[in-house]
Structure 1
């Protein structure tokens, strides 16, 4: 079908379809004319209007978001095994949802998975960590208690030596009346020698420990006498006790043992140890040693052993597995035994 071409001068020309798109000249005015395309091939402008949905149909739920929530809930049981994957899948799920242009939903599921995974990982992980560290914490506390016990015994040893320097001998186990009846403990007698003179002055030394007046002072026990392993609420009881006997550092007869009256050596002779049961600190009650019998002692310490104060003022840790013969040799001051190192 011929193509109609009209020049500006009014001349009309006809051209075959095969010449469409080429140029020609008007025979009247000489203008250059472009032979147009046939109407069937003419270009038409695209329709203008709101964009059509590229992905028709109902949006689906992100599988990663679902998996994130499920793993997040399981993290309260499985901790890191599901908690961390829940967080990762939740983040990936949110990313997929944002890029899906409405094709995916499940943002709330992904956020829920991230939150539950984080909470499960942190809380349960913290509980597991505490459980793993509990033995170390307990060991550290026991070490601190043992160190405090060593410090207490060293202060007691210093007070005993200060007493001996002032009086020429260590104190007897009891403060007695004129008839030799025990009234108060040696723990009261050494109060002035470690900064407790004001408390010492309040005692009626001619009355027993449980007299109405002296009982009012029971609650004022110095912290030096408080064993770290004893219940913190009871501040009237102590386990620090001496070994009483004719061959020990605290015989009942006589004014007291002088530092020179220790043939076995002060470094080899026990003075103060921890008894098996706490006693009122002002009460004249200690461990009795006699006829070679070894009293029970050790306090509330681990099965491995306990601290003990020797007559030279040193504090050493004694093992419970120690032979009775060695322990007897440490208790006596004049037995002539050969005491091996503890």
Structure 2
């Protein structure tokens, strides 16, 4: 079940300073690059849903539509929003789907390992191998018992989906890495929709099984995780864990990489009262609850991508687009610095 809200999902709550700043930055970018856009509900940073492709980097606009159509992937509800984390993820990662060299450098930096040998995940829309997959929910396997009436799971909707996935090989063997991407999201109260008896029973058995991902010595209940971002983190870690147990694709290990802007401090709030005793940073807290803490990695977009963008140079269309649009990357520093 995909419950990932975009930046407008908490519209009733006060906006974070980071979100307000990004609204202004994205509006300025769109005024410069899409001055004739059709504004959705008169919002300067939202476009008509029919024009959502205009919020993607130019080099992937047609490719993304073809890819999502090929695999019947669902677009997020706010894909027409300039602050959409799905759009942000695609802009950064989809141009690298056929660039295993650049991708290897990023993954090595993310996991603090030597650049690994990247392995294809699936075919792109034209049949060539892609080294990044998007809206991954298990590659056709219902690892979390989320299927309704035996129907196939849909990627990107109504099932636990990682924003992206990569596969690679190190000296220790092949691995999968599930990637969760955030932009301006922030969270506070509990999730009412999560309190589904069927899901509680299904997820509870997986989470607290003897071989589950959560350390049972903490004596936690499943309801303690019914707060974002913990609910998402838990489900994705369960997906990774179940893929690893099944040795999906012959891999020996499956980890989760969480990526977000450094400036979005509101995202780090520990929203669950039961988990506040473990620390003050949501991602440090979640990591500490795992049987194998190193199976969860948290990194900032800037730390991961800025070195690669600077190496690519200002003349590179991908690097130029990202640094012009997402100013938080360098805080005004030159791409060549």
More strand by share: 1
User: Taking structure 2 as the reference length, what is the TM-score of the superposition?
Assistant: 0.21
Q: Which has the higher contact order (CA 8 A, sep 6+)?
A: 2
